[in-house]
Structure 1
Amino acid sequence: MVSIGRYIRNIQRSGIRKWMRDMMYIGDAKYGKCVGQDQFGNKYYENLDPADEVPGRHRWVDYAQHEYNATQVPAEWHAWVHHIRNRPPPEDTVMQNLSPPWKGPWVENLTGTRGAYKPYNTTAAKINPWEPKTIPRGSA
Structure 2
Amino acid sequence: MATLGTRLFTWLNGELVGRDEEGNSYFRQKGGGTVHRDSLRRERRWVIYADGPDEASRVPPEWHAWLHHWSNETPPAEGIARRTWMKDHQHNLSGTGQAYRPPGHTLLGGKRDRATGDYEAWSPE
Q: Which category describes the TM-score, using the shorter chain as reference length?
A: 0.5 to 0.7
Aligned with residue 98 of structure 2, among 115, 118, 122: 115
**Identity of counterpart residues, as a percentage?**
35
Q: Which consecutive unaligned segments of at least 5 residues does structure 1 have?
A: 1-19, 126-140
Deviations 1:10-55 (A, max 9, x none): xxxxxxxxxx8442xx4861232211111211110122426xxxx4
Structure holding more helix per residue: 1
TM-score (norm 2): 0.61
Q: Say how many residue pairs are matched.
A: 97
Find out whether 1:83 has 2:69 as its counterpart: yes
**Partner Cα distance (1:27, 1:35) in 2:** 16
- Residue type of the partner of 2:20? D
Task: State the shift of 1:105 in Å.
Answer: 0.7
The CA RMSD over aligned residues, in Å, is 3.0
TM-score (norm 1): 0.55
Report the CA distance shift for 1:28/1:115 in structure 2 as closer, same or farther (over 3 A).
farther
Task: State the shift of 1:84 in Å.
Answer: 0.7
Residues 1-140 of structure 1 aligned to structure 2 (within 5 Å): 21-23=3-5, 26=6, 29-30=9-10, 31-49=13-31, 55-56=41-42, 58-90=44-76, 96-97=80-81, 99-121=82-104, 123-124=113-114
Structure number with higher relative contact order (C-alpha < 8 Å, ≥ 6 residues apart): 2
**Partner Cα distance (1:89, 1:22) in 2:** 28
